[in-house]
Amino acid sequence: MLSIVSFSILISSALAAAPYCLPGNSCFPSTKDLSVFNATVGGRLIKSVPYGSVCYAATYDAEKCAALVANMSNGEYRLEIPDALMYSNWEVTEDGTGCPVPRNVSLTPVQGTCTYGNLAPYIVDATVAQDIVNSVKFAAKYNLRLRVKSTGHDYAGRSSGEGSFTIRTHKLQGTSYIPAFVPSGCSATAEPALLAEAGVNVRGLYTAADKFNRTTIAGVTPTVGALGGYILGAGTGAFSHQKGLGVDNVLQFEVVTTDGTLRIANRCQNSDLFWALRGGGGAFGVTTRAWLKSYAPLKATNSLYGGLIANDTQTWESLIRTFVDLLPALYEKGITGEWSASYPQLGLILQRHFEANETLVSAADSLSALNAAISIPGVYNALNAGQYSTWLEAYEKTIVPTTEDGAAVGINVLLASRIASDALIQSAEGRRKVADYIIAYPKGASIIFQMLVGGAVNVPSTTDTAVNPAWRSSFGFVDIVVGGSTPEVTDAQAALMADMRTRSDAVFGTAVYYNENAPTDNWQEVQWGSNYARLLSIKKKYDPKGVLTCRACVGSEIFGY
């Protein structure tokens, strides 16, 4: 419902000059216009108040502030706040302007000024596709700064922006199983598919698949939206090595394009749009549903999780070199997953999946693949190993607890990524470079190596989908993480990240994972490589006026963001 609460919006001179009509501009829809529009979306237009305002003097509520502070690092809690993002640096402007939540509960309210910063003043809490159709038409009519948000997992600031008008897809939660699906307009062999709406998150999709006695492709972190930016930007997950990227598993999209048309996109109709949506990001339309390939349930999953801890720097170097040298052999044994390296601990979340026709081995047998690292003198073994009869059980008991402990939210996180080629990891010299890179890692930064791709990801051609061609010759990818203690990115953070990007380029090259990379100047090349020119032409076809834009998205060099 449209809130009657009034909240001031401070508009900077730079913002007022933006190419979009923003709150405070004379062109912005009147109260009457907003009320008429609100009726078309069932009263689901929210005139938001920055969620941190309950901790500030002018609007202080001690009980609500205490609850907010206590839950700021809880992803499930943040998921339910319409205007919240998962990372604070994208909630505030570059200079820190906004309404950041204090780190600790105080008996007195914050005396500073609370403004929107990058949070959305207006949010449509969509529950059906027609809400999205009407919202896109309204945003196009008034040239609003349109943003789309599912869960708020955003490492690039694409789902936020000063004065934005946001479509929130979180409440579109429908799922169903279609035993024999043929994409609309196609004459193809029917195959089993899962249908999921745009708000379903990773945990929800895995749970739905299990209910239907199926498995499907999704990510790792439970609160990440499985059908939003995740899948539009490539989508890596626990089964990618065996089944491909998320985009390789999409059979069909339902999408609202910027002319307000609800379209079906697949290989047989709107095929150019279908190509762009599979890896080109969210600048082409607002997806409402997707039909995904589904697979027979696994016989079992062996999970290896926990850590190996070195007792000194010499042992650490030996551990890293030994473990990196094991990587090709782990893939040969069917072991995939992710690991992090931050002295003195090597953290692991690895899995070995068994299809119905495969011979089971014990979890202890899978763990033995790591013996060369475990047996190094001075290494403390804190690894666990277990065998689970369903993927959902393995996910809930091993991955969810580990990611909830390690994937901090509610803080300032600057993230970059690099795709690691198969050629790099398969060569002894390449592995030496990777080990040297990790051992020399500076304090204040950490690395996560996603050992999820290669294999089936490398089967499609470089032009089959819109993803960076580098994915099709990959082994894995690395995430470079630089956190901060302030709401905004500091100069020191930015300098450390710049240094890490340079170091990473020298080892891995410049190709990045679109979903997990803060934008850089050469974003077109590093995100999409040779596929960018075609993406831009499709953008101009389906969104010639730049209704859908975001930071470092296709066409933002033309339309702004």
Say yes or no: 314 and 274 in one domain: no
Q: What is the model's pLDDT at position 260?
A: 98
Is 551 inside a domain boundary? no
HSE toward the beta carbon, residue 406, CA cutoff 13 A: 25
Say if residue 519 is preceded by a cis peptide, omega within 30 of 0: no
Say yes or no: 106 and 191 in one domain: no
Q: Which of 148, 126, 160 is nearest to 38 (CA)?
A: 126
Q: What is the model's pLDDT at position 3?
A: 37
| Tally of domains within the chain | 3
Contact 303, 311 (CB under 8 A): no
Q: Which of 4, 13, 556, 549 is nearest to 283 (CA)?
A: 549
Q: Which of 204, 203, 211, 225 is nearest to 287 (CA)?
A: 225
Q: What is the model's pLDDT at position 405?
A: 65
Say yes or no: 373 and 511 in one domain: yes
Q: Which of 332, 403, 391 is nearest to 356 (CA)?
A: 391
Q: What is the model's pLDDT at position 417?
A: 98
- Which structural domain, as residue segments, surrounds residue 318? 300-525
Beta strands in 189-342 (DSSP E): 191-197, 250-256, 262-265, 286-293, 300-310, 335-342
Say yes or no: 309 and 406 in one domain: yes
Is 539 inside a domain boundary? no
Q: What is the CATH number of the domain that holds 120?
A: 3.30.43.10
Local structure of 545: helix, strand or coil: coil
Is 547 inside a domain boundary? no
Is 58 inside a domain boundary? yes
Q: What is the mean pLDDT of each run of 10 residues along the chain (561 residues)?
A: 37 46 97 99 98 96 94 94 96 94 85 96 99 99 98 96 98 98 97 98 98 97 96 98 99 99 99 99 98 98 98 98 99 97 96 97 98 99 98 97 79 97 99 98 91 98 98 98 92 96 98 96 97 98 96 96 93
Say yes or no: 509 and 373 in one domain: yes
Say yes or no: 387 and 310 in one domain: yes
Say yes or no: 20 and 156 in one domain: yes
Say yes or no: 218 and 289 in one domain: yes
Say yes or no: 140 and 233 in one domain: no
Say yes or no: 95 and 208 in one domain: no
| Pairwise CA distance, residues 228 & 234, whole Å | 11
Residue ending a domain, among 168, 200, 229, is 168
Buried b (16+ CB within 10 A) or exposed e, 252-264: bbbbbbbebebbb
Q: Which residues contact 227 (CB under 8 A, 6 or more apart)?
A: 150, 196, 197, 198, 199, 200, 205, 287, 289, 290
Spell out the SS3 assignment of 39-102: HHCCCCEEECCCHHHHHEHHHCCHHHHHHHHHCCCCHHHHHCCCCCCCEHHHCCCCCCCCCCCC
Buried b (16+ CB within 10 A) or exposed e, 280-316: bbbbbbbbbbbbbbbbebbebbbbbbbbbbbeeeebb
Residue ending a domain, among 239, 268, 296, is 296
201 bridge partner residues: 225
Prediction pTM value: 0.95
Say yes or no: 278 and 315 in one domain: no
Residue ending a domain, among 148, 168, 188, is 168
Contact 284, 255 (CB under 8 A): yes
